[in-house]
Amino acid sequence: MNSPIPDKQVSEIVTPSQIQIINLRALQGFFPIIESVIMNCGVVSVYELRNEVGKEINDVGCRGPLFLVQTRHKELWLVVMNQSSFGTYHTIVSEQTQFQQQDRYLTLTHSDNQCLVQFCFISQSANEECTNVVSRLRTELSESVRFDRFLKQAVTYCSM
Domains of the chain: 11-158 (2.30.29.30)
Q: What is the dihedral of CA 31, 37, 39, 40, to 10 degrees?
A: 60
Q: Give the up-direction half-sphere exposure of residue 151: CA atoms within 13 A in the CB hemisphere.
A: 7
Sequential pLDDT tens for the chain (160 residues)? 454 554 545 445 556 666 667 788 888 988 999 999 999 998 899 998 765 555 677 888 888 899 999 999 889 999 999 887 778 899 989 888 888 898 899 988 876 666 688 999 988 888 999 999 999 998 988 876 555 555 555 556 565 5
- pTM higher than 0.85, yes or no? no
